[in-house]
Amino acid sequence: MVVTETAPVLSAPELKKVELIDAVVERSGVKKKFAKPAIEAALAILGESLAEGRDLNLRPLGKVKVQRTKEVANAIVMTTRIRRPNMEATPVEAEDGGIVDAAE
């Protein structure tokens, strides 16, 4: 019998809201004073939608489906499934309206 050692699964550091806002500001070029309230409103809407049991279908994030919920002290624990599209195989719309490969 051959036993192979598996590598441990390492996760990246947690993404905090401040870091998300900074990344959006950097990527979009929008001023932080305009981006922050929009991002906070979007996160609130996403949280409310999940609390209502609604599935989310938000490309390129993917489809988020609530599998189970459980109430614990001071929180509701949601078990979700996220299905992300394979961005390498998905055609992307170009700025001129044409279709380009995601790798371009």
Are 48 and 55 a contacting pair, CB within 8 Å?
no
What is the pLDDT tens value at each position of the chain, 104 positions in all?
A: 777 777 777 788 999 999 999 999 999 999 999 999 999 999 999 999 999 999 999 998 999 999 999 999 999 999 999 999 887 765 556 566 565 554 44
How far is the C-alpha of 15 from the C-alpha of 75, rounded, in Å?
20
pTM: 0.69
